[in-house]
Structure 1
Amino acid sequence: MGYAHDYAAAIMQRGRVPMAPVDFVPNWSDGPRKAKYYPGVDSLPLPVAGYPADASLDRAFDGGAEAPGAATGEGAFDLTSLSGMLLDSYGLTGRRLGVQANTDLSALPFYPLANWSRGSASGGGLYPVSVYWVSGPSGPVTPGVHYYSTRHHTMQRLLTGDVSGEVRESLGGYGADTDQYLVLGIKYWQNSFKYNSFSFHAVSMDLGAAVQTWRMWAGARGLAIEPAMWFDEARLQRLLGVQGQEEGVFAVVPLKWAGAQGGSTPSQSPTPSPAPSPAGPGAGSVSVQLRDVERSREVFTFDALLKMQEATSAQATERPAPGALTPAATPPADPDLPVAALPAAKPMPADVRTVLRRRRSSFGRFDASRPVTGEQLAACLAASTAGSRLGGDTGTGPDGDGVRLTKLYAFVNHVEGVEPGAYEYDPDARELRLVKAGRPGEFLQRNYFLSNYNLEQAGAVLVPTIRTSAVLDAVGDRGYRLVNATIGAVAQSVYTASSALELGCGVALGFDNVSYIEELGLDATGEAPLLIMMIGNERPAPADFRYEIA
C-alpha cells in the first residue's frame, strides 16, 4: 500500500488523534494572497459574456441533452463563453457583508480582508486553484500560456508561442483533437498556511468543486467539460515553471474551440496512457520563466503534504483502463431497510449563472421553524448523485461504463413528510431507506467541532461517502485526488441546487468521521464519510449590507 492509504486513515482519525503538527498556529498577518501575483505582465481583458435564460440547472444535471448543439456535438467554446465560465466560477462577483456566525465576521468590513463571493465553493474560502489557459494557433489570441487573474478577470500572458503540443503529448493521446486547454494547478501554501497537513485533503476537494461548476455551466449550454486527471504532471510543471513541492497540477481540460479545423469531441472512454517516450528535440525544454511573487515572508512546508504530492504524482501517466474502478463501486442500497418514499424532485428552471451568483454558505442562519419540503430534499439528493459523475478520464462518467463511487446518507431533522432519522438514499429508486430512527440533532451537534452552525436547526444534513481504500487499491495513490475531487463535485452540486431551491446550505469538514461510520454502520462496506452538507430554510430578513449602493 502507498502513502495515500496512511494519509486517508489519518484523515478519518483526526477528530480523535490530531494530525501533526498539533501545535501549529496560522500567522494571519503573514498569510499569502488568494491568487498568484505576476508583476509587470501583459493582461488581456476578457469580454463581457451573456448567459442564456433557458440554460437551466435542470438541464445541466441532465447532461445538457436539450441544450443547443448537444445532439449534434456542435457546441464549442469561444473567448466570450470562456470568459463567462471563468467569471461565474472563480471570478469575483460580489462582496459578502451579511451578519452570520462564522469566525471571520469582524474582519469583513475591512477592505484588505474582504470576503468576495464566487460561484465555486472552496474550503475556508481560500481558493487555491490556479487556472492556466494554454492556447494554440486556432485561438483568438497569439498562442501562449496565460494565467487567469481572478481579481481582475483578465488573462495574464506568461509565455508567448505555441506550446499546446506539450499539453497534448502530456495527455498521452487522451482528449479532444484541439489546441486549447485549461490546466488546473493548486498552489499549496495558499491553503496550507491555515490547514497545514490537512491541506491536501481540502484542496483536492476544491479542484472537484471548480470542475463541477464548469460542467454545470457548460453542460446547460451544450458545451463539454471532460477533465483529464492522468497525464505527465512533471512535464506540465516544467512548462508552467512551477516547483512540484509548491504547486501540483491536478487536471487538464481540453476545450473544443469554435472555428478550429479537425476538432472532435473528447473521448468518453479513457484509454491506457503509454509510458512517456524519451523527449524528442526540444520536448519539455520550453518553460514559463516568470515566477509568482509570494506575499508571505515565511513559508512553511509540511511532511504529509509533501509526501502526498510525491505519492499522487509518481504514477501520473498510468491512466487506469476502462472498468478499473469497478471493484471500488459504491454498494447498492440495502433492500431490507424500511422505505421512506419521496415526492418528485422540485424543478430547478433558473439559469446556472443566476444560481451560482446567489450561492453562499449559511453560517448559522438556519431556522428549524420552517421545514424543508420533501420536493426540495428530493432535488438536493438527485443533484448530489448527478454531481458525482466527473466524466473525462475519471471512469465516473454518466455513460454506461462510468462507475458510481459515492453513496449519500441523510440525517433528517425537519423535512415535511419524512420522519426524523438517519437514512440511506437509493438513487435508482429515488427513495430513502431508514438506517436509524429518532431525532439526530444531538448526535450531529456533539460530533461537530466548530461553532458556526447549529446542525439541529438544519432541515437535513447530507453525508456523501466513498470507499477511499478501495479506490486506492484499484488505481493507486493518484486515486486520492479522484476521491476528493468527486466529493468536492458533490458538494458544489448541492450548494448550487440549494441556491436554485432558495434553501440555505453549508458544507463542513470539521466533524468526527469515525462517529459517523459507527452511527451509520459503515465499517463492513469500507465507506468513508468525508464531509457534511447542511440544507435548510434560513431566518427571514437576515442583517446584510448593500455595498453596491453605499
Structure 2
Amino acid sequence: MYSQRSGSIPFCIFYHQKTKYSPEGLARRNHSIDWSHPPATSKGYRSGTVYDLKPYLSDTEKVQSNGLLDRLSRLLYLTYGVTAVVPYPDGPFYMRAAPSAGGLYPAEVYLLSRGLPELPAGAYNYLVPAHTLVHFWSGEGWQGLSDACFDHPALKQAQIAIVISAVFQRSAWRYEDRAYRRIFLDSGHLLGNLELAAALEAYRVRLITGFADDALNGLLFLPPSEEEALAVAALVEADAPDHPPGRQALPSPVHGNYPPVPEGQLLDYLHRVSKIDARPPTSPPAVVQADKYNFPFCLKVSTQSGPLDWDAKLEETILRRRSTRRYTGEDLNFAELAWLLDFTYQPQHYAAQGFDPAPEFAHLELLSTFVAVLGVQGLEAGCYYYAPQAQELRQIRFKNFRPEIHHLCLGQDLGRDSAAVVFHTADLAAATALYGERAYRTLHLDSGHLGQRLNLAAIRLGLGVSGIGGFFDDQVNEVLGIPEQEAVLYITTLGRPARSATADG
C-alpha cells in the first residue's frame, strides 16, 4: 500500500489506492445518504432560445427534413435521451440511453456551433428530459474552442462539436471520492452511444481529450469546481476528405509533491492536478497495441468469427438497453461470447454494416481485458486474457470462480449468477509515465466506451448485461491471478437475464 508522502508516487495512483474498496473499509464506512433529497440530474436555464427537437422524432408530427436539426435530434436522443419514464410518488424518474451508476447521470451535453443557418453560432445545452436545445450564449466561440483544443485538425473540418461535462456532486453525493471513477465510466458509455449513433447520421466522431481545461470551461460558463468539461467530440461529415492526424490525448504534468489531502477532497484534487494549461512541448510516442500474457503452455482459444449481424437494429437496441439486475445462472454458448468480443474490439469487421471501422479512443493500447468464464459452453472455466490482435482468449488460471466473483463484486448476485465477467485493467504506472495524471481520466473514459459496446452487443443478442463500478479492488487481482500492476478499472457482467430483471444504472 502506498503512503502519502511528498514525492512518493503520482497523485492519481495514490487516489486509486485510497478509493479502493475492501471488506474492512466498507465495514468502517460512515457515510449517510439523504435519500429524500437526491441531486438534480439535469440543468435548467432561465433565458435562451429553445430549439424543440421532439417533432423530429414524432411519427405524428414528423418534420419532413433531412437537415441539421433532424440529424441532431436523432443523434442526441440515441446518445443520452430519455428512453423510459418511471413514475414515483415524489416525481418521475427518466431513464436514459446511456447507463449511469445509481441512475445519477452526472454528465451534461453541450453543443458548440460554428455558425449555421439552422443553428447559429454559440453554445447550446441539451436539456435531456425535454429533448430540446437551449441556445444560452450567442457568440463566435469556435476560435475559442480551437484555441482550447490546441488547434486540433478535426475542428477545421467540423461545423458542430459536442462537449461532455460532469456535475461532480451528482455522483459524489452517493459514491464520495470514488465517484470520479464512475463519472468517467458513465461519460464513456455516452461516448460509445455517440460514436455508433453518429454513423447512423453520416457523421464520424473525432475525439479530443487533450485540451486546456479552464479555457474550455470558461467558454461554456461552467461553475468552477462544480462542473467541468471532460471530452470534446467533433462531428465530421462521414464523406469528408481524409483529415490530417490529430492526437486524441495529451499529457498533463505528474504531481508527486502534494500536501495531505483529506478524504472527501480527493476527487476535486485529482481533477485539478490532471488539468492542462498549455499544449505540451512534446507528445508521448505512439504506443502500438500489443498482445500480452502469451505463456508457452496456456490454452489458447480463437474468437474469430463472422461479425455480429445487426440487421439495421442499432437504434432499436440502444432504445431497449437496460442494465440487468438478475441472471438465471444459465450458460452462454461460445459463439455468443465470441460475438460480444468481436463487436467490442474488432470494429473494422463492421464497416460493411455502416459502422465506423476505426472509432477513436484516447489510448486503447494502454488497456488490457480479462474474462472470467463461469459458464460458457465449449470453454473451460477460468480466467482468460483477451488478445485483441490475435483475436484469441489465453487462459491464465484454471478454476471456477463463481463464489469468489460473488464476493469481490460486493456480494452482488450479478457476479454469482453471471456466465462471464469482463475486467478492464491498466498499468497505471506505465500510463502515468506517458500521460501524467490525466491518464486516469482517459483510461476510465475508454473503459466506459468499451463497456457500452459490450452492453449493446449483449442486448442485440438478447443477453443480460450490467456494469459494476464497485468491487473489492485488490481481491480481483488475487482471485483471478492478474498481475498486481494491472489496476482494475471496470467490470461488466454477462449472462442470461431473469424475466423482469432490468433496471436503469
* TM-score (norm. length: structure 1): 0.77
- Structure-to-structure mapping, 1:200-215, within 5 angstroms: 200-215=180-195
Query: Whole-Å Cα distance in 2 between the matches of residues 266 and 4 of structure 1?
Result: 34
Change (3 A) 1:250 1:532: same
Structure 1 position 494, deviation (Å): 0.7
Give a deviation string over 1:91-144, Cα, whole Å, max 9, x none: 101135xxxxxxxxxxxx515454433221222221111111111223522222
Partner of 1:162: 140
Contact 1:498 1:504 (C-alpha < 8 Å) held by counterparts = yes
Partner of 1:379: 339
Partner of 1:295: none
Q: Secondary structure of the equivalent of 2:454? A: helix
Residue among 9, 27, 37 paired with 2:34: 27
Partner of 2:492: 533
Q: Secondary structure of the equivalent of 1:253? A: strand
Partner of 1:85: 75
Structure 1 position 238, deviation (Å): 1.4
The answer as to 2:450 corresponding to 1:490 is yes
Contact 2:387 2:393 (C-alpha < 8 Å) held by counterparts = yes
Structure 1 position 391, deviation (Å): 5.3
Contact 1:244 1:309 (C-alpha < 8 Å) held by counterparts = no
Residue among 95, 113, 136 paired with 2:85: 95
Query: Whole-Å Cα distance in 1 between the matches of residues 404 and 149 of structure 2?
Result: 46
Unpaired segments of 5 or more residues in structure 1? 52-75, 97-108, 276-300, 397-403, 546-550
Moved more, 463-472 or 387-396: 387-396
Partner of 2:255: none
Contact 1:273 1:319 (C-alpha < 8 Å) held by counterparts = no
The answer as to 2:396 corresponding to 1:438 is no
In angstroms, what is the RMSD of aligned CA positions? 3.3
Query: Whole-Å Cα distance in 1 between the matches of residues 213 and 91 of structure 2?
Result: 34
Query: Whole-Å Cα distance in 2 between the matches of residues 435 and 122 of structure 1?
Result: 32
Give a deviation string over 1:340-369, Cα, whole Å, max 9, x none: 3547256232422111111111101x1124
Unpaired segments of 5 or more residues in structure 2? 1-8, 59-65, 253-262, 349-356
Name the amino acid aligned to 1:533: T
Query: Whole-Å Cα distance in 1 between the matches of residues 73 and 464 of structure 2?
Result: 28
Name the amino acid aligned to 2:285: G
The answer as to 2:183 corresponding to 1:223 is no
Q: Secondary structure of the equivalent of 1:226? A: strand
Query: Whole-Å Cα distance in 2 between the matches of residues 251 and 346 of structure 1?
Result: 30
Q: Secondary structure of the equivalent of 1:251? A: strand
- Structure-to-structure mapping, 1:502-513, within 5 angstroms: 502-513=462-473
Change (3 A) 1:434 1:84: same
Change (3 A) 1:119 1:217: same
- Structure-to-structure mapping, 1:328-367, within 5 angstroms: 331=292, 333-342=294-303, 344=305, 347-350=308-311, 351-364=313-326, 366-367=327-328
Change (3 A) 1:330 1:309: farther
Partner of 1:268: 245
Partner of 1:424: 385
Structure 1 position 145, deviation (Å): 1.0
Structure 1 position 223, deviation (Å): 2.0
Residue among 307, 318, 326 paired with 2:280: 318
Partner of 1:176: 155
Give a deviation string over 1:60-90, Cα, whole Å, max 9, x none: xxxxxxxxxxxxxxxx993222211110121
The answer as to 2:165 corresponding to 1:185 is yes
- Structure-to-structure mapping, 1:283-322, within 5 angstroms: 302-315=264-277, 317-318=279-280, 321=283
Query: Whole-Å Cα distance in 2 between the matches of residues 375 and 220 of structure 1?
Result: 27
Structure 1 position 194, deviation (Å): 1.0
Structure 1 position 153, deviation (Å): 0.5
Contact 1:465 1:530 (C-alpha < 8 Å) held by counterparts = yes
The answer as to 2:10 corresponding to 1:2 is yes
Query: Whole-Å Cα distance in 2 between the matches of residues 484 and 332 of structure 1?
Result: 22
- Structure-to-structure mapping, 1:276-287, within 5 angstroms: none
The answer as to 2:500 corresponding to 1:542 is yes
Q: Secondary structure of the equivalent of 1:313? A: coil
The answer as to 2:410 corresponding to 1:410 is no
Contact 2:47 2:136 (C-alpha < 8 Å) held by counterparts = no
Query: Whole-Å Cα distance in 1 between the matches of residues 491 and 361 of structure 2?
Result: 27
Total equivalences in the alignment: 467
Query: Whole-Å Cα distance in 2 between the matches of residues 390 and 235 of structure 1?
Result: 29
Structure 1 position 431, deviation (Å): 2.5
Structure 1 position 512, deviation (Å): 1.3
Name the amino acid aligned to 1:43: V
Residue among 362, 376, 383 paired with 1:394: 362
Change (3 A) 1:154 1:220: closer
Query: Whole-Å Cα distance in 1 between the matches of residues 490 and 372 of structure 2?
Result: 13
Partner of 1:124: 102
Q: Which has the higher strand share?
A: 2
Contact 2:211 2:276 (C-alpha < 8 Å) held by counterparts = no
Query: Whole-Å Cα distance in 1 between the matches of residues 170 and 245 of structure 2?
Result: 33
Structure 1 position 216, deviation (Å): 1.6
Query: Whole-Å Cα distance in 1 between the matches of residues 474 and 376 of structure 2?
Result: 26
Change (3 A) 1:47 1:113: closer
Name the amino acid aligned to 1:248: E
- % of aligned pairs identical? 21
Contact 1:78 1:257 (C-alpha < 8 Å) held by counterparts = no
The answer as to 2:193 corresponding to 1:234 is no
Name the amino acid aligned to 2:297: D
Contact 2:205 2:235 (C-alpha < 8 Å) held by counterparts = yes
Query: Whole-Å Cα distance in 2 between the matches of residues 544 and 477 of structure 1?
Result: 36
- Structure-to-structure mapping, 1:42-61, within 5 angstroms: 42-46=49-53, 48=55
Structure 1 position 310, deviation (Å): 0.6
The answer as to 2:430 corresponding to 1:470 is yes
Q: Secondary structure of the equivalent of 2:247? A: coil
* TM-score (norm. length: structure 2): 0.83
Name the amino acid aligned to 2:142: S
Change (3 A) 1:268 1:332: farther
Contact 2:451 2:492 (C-alpha < 8 Å) held by counterparts = yes
Give a deviation string over 1:10-38, Cα, whole Å, max 9, x none: 23x32256499942222222221111122
Structure 1 position 318, deviation (Å): 3.0
Change (3 A) 1:544 1:233: closer
Contact 1:172 1:273 (C-alpha < 8 Å) held by counterparts = no
Query: Whole-Å Cα distance in 1 between the matches of residues 267 and 415 of structure 2?
Result: 31
